[in-house]
Amino acid sequence: MDRRKFLKLSALTGLALSAPVGLGLGLRRVRAGALTYGGPFYVFVNAGGAWDPRFLCDPILDPAQNRVYGDIATAGNIPYAPIPMTAATTGLDALSAAELVGTQAFFEKYAPQLLCVNGIDMATNNHDGGVRHIWSGKLEEGHPSFGALVAATKAPAEPLAYISSGGYDQTHGLVPLTRMSSIDTIRRVAYPHHLDPADLSAGTYHTLDTVDRIRAAQTARVDRLHGAASLPRDRAAKSELILARENDDTLQALVLPDQLVDFGDYNLSDLERFMQQAQLALAAFQSGLAVAVNLNLGGFDTHATHDRDQVRQIGKLLRGVDFLMTEAQNMGLGGQLTVMMGSDFARGPFYNGDNEFSGKDHWSIGSAMFMGNGIAGNRVVGATDDDQRAVPHNGTVITPAHIHQSLRNLAAVAGDPKAAEFPLPGEDLGLFG
């Protein structure tokens, strides 16, 4: 498909490109038509705000910690919390609730390829620190996300090597970052010459020849300004602008969906954006332009009305991940995706009140789930006790550093010089089998 179709998709999902500060622009010049990476691909699904593992893969029947389900179900070797998605459990109308995926449907479908890691000690209940810890392996500042690291080692020259819709996505200069954010203004920026950016058939203000002349003049001007800039921040800003304007030819290789997900339902707008993020990610993977993608769904910071809101967001999360895996399979990418689902830390263990409006507060012992390429499924590693405290795994309390040691070995980047710049404590516990 041509670049215009990709630009339409990227605008609707809010795509914006940036280059790492301090890198020479010449190192990141886009190469038209380059197809340098064929997989595996890495997807990091961030449940923003801190999910409740008691409602997923670390269930418990203690009514002080769970007022939603009355038994513990099992899919293969994986115990899980059986929670249906209904109007009563989600607070949505019946039609909206039917769009979500319940835990039973998800775990029964994916148990053979699913790994649940429980009892992860996040060592914090601060949102910024928790997100940084789970996605980089380090609680302290100064480490890139794993998505940035694997993209930088696998395809550092690709302008879309690392795409992020949220969560922790710091690159620390390893690789350019492509952010996806709001659609409201980005699509107008993406189509400055179109009469109606939402309908490209409505025509343009200028002919294509005139547009080409305008772009040539803009490029010459920005190149001139970049050459004259002396301050690092100023040069970085000029680099970002040039990078964004020079990606058009590279994007022609993308094979895009004919239609974006559109529920037309305000109550599902965050799910709609989440699934659109997945559509763009898969298009970039299929075209060989991306290595790693962050997908993001918020709404898990349930200090109040926990049982309703947490269930609803879990149903959206599972629907989005199911959509990602199903579409990947349909596109021939199913065996090439490695997916990690994680969150800032955890909720719980106990409610902060005694009525239906009570919530759960921050807790440092959480869980993560993995599936796809390189993951030995149908397993649970790690555990918590009745008070949701970490039970050591073979004598070791699991931390995000252990997870990232396993990720680095799985992706065969542990010995890369870029990884050596950002060492992690601990060892690979063989979490992935």
Q: What is the pLDDT of residues 148-203, one digit of tens each?
A: 999 999 998 887 899 999 999 999 999 989 886 544 444 555 567 777 766 777 78
Q: Is residue 168 part of a domain?
A: yes
Please state, in angstroms and rounded to a whole number, the distance separating the CA atoms of residues 363 and 348. Answer: 6
DSSP letter string over 151-187? HHHH-TT-TTSEEESSS----TTSS-EEEE--STTHH
The pLDDT of residue 132 is above 90: yes
- Indicate the average pLDDT of the chain: 87
List the one residue out of 266, 284, 267 whose CA is nearest residue 9. Answer: 284
| Residue 229 included in any domain | no
pLDDT for 241 equals: 58
Query: What gap in Å lies between CA 250 and CA 288, rounded to an integer?
Result: 11
The number of domains in the chain is 1
Nearest-angstrom CA–CA distance, 203 and 214: 17
Range of the domain at 140: 33-189+263-279+290-311+350-420
Binned at pLDDT 50, 70 and 90, residue 421 comes out as very high
252 pLDDT more than 50: no
Q: Does the pLDDT value for residue 92 go beyond 80?
A: yes
Count of CB atoms within 10 A of residue 259's CB?
7
Instruction: Note the pLDDT of residue 238.
Output: 60
Mean pLDDT of 397-419: 97
Residue 323 lies in a domain: no
pLDDT of residue 188: 57
398 in a structural domain: yes
User: Quick one: which of 91, 114, 59, 64 has its CA closest to 379?
Assistant: 114
DSSP secondary-structure letter at 144? -
Find residue 128's DSSP bridge partners: none
Nearest to 406 by CA among 50, 48, 155, 117: 117
96 in a structural domain: yes
Residue 86 CB contacts under 8 Å (≥ 6 apart), including other chains = 94, 97
Q: Is residue 299 part of a domain?
A: yes
pLDDT in the model for residue 230: 75
pLDDT tens, residue by residue, 320-377: 999 999 999 999 999 999 999 999 999 999 999 999 999 999 999 999 999 999 999 9
Structural tokens at position 216? 């040539």
Angle, CA of 32, 20 and 142, to the nearest 5°: 145
Q: Is residue 153, in this structure, part of any structural domain at all?
A: yes
What are the tens digits of pLDDT across the range 215-237? 788 778 877 877 787 777 776 66
Q: What is the pLDDT of residue 191?
A: 63
Q: Is pLDDT above 90 for 379?
A: yes
Residues 6+ apart with CB under 8 A from 329: none
Q: Which two tokens stand for residue 200?
A: 């490209």
List all residues 6 or more positions away from 145 whose beta carbon is below 8 Å from its beta carbon.
Answer: 44, 135, 136, 167, 168, 169, 170, 171, 294
Enumerate residues 6+ apart whose C-beta is below 8 A from 91: 308, 309, 312
Determine, yes or no, domain membership for 328.
Answer: no
**What is the reported pLDDT for 24?**
33
| 80: three-class secondary structure by DSSP | strand
What's this model's pTM, rounded to 2 decimal places?
A: 0.84
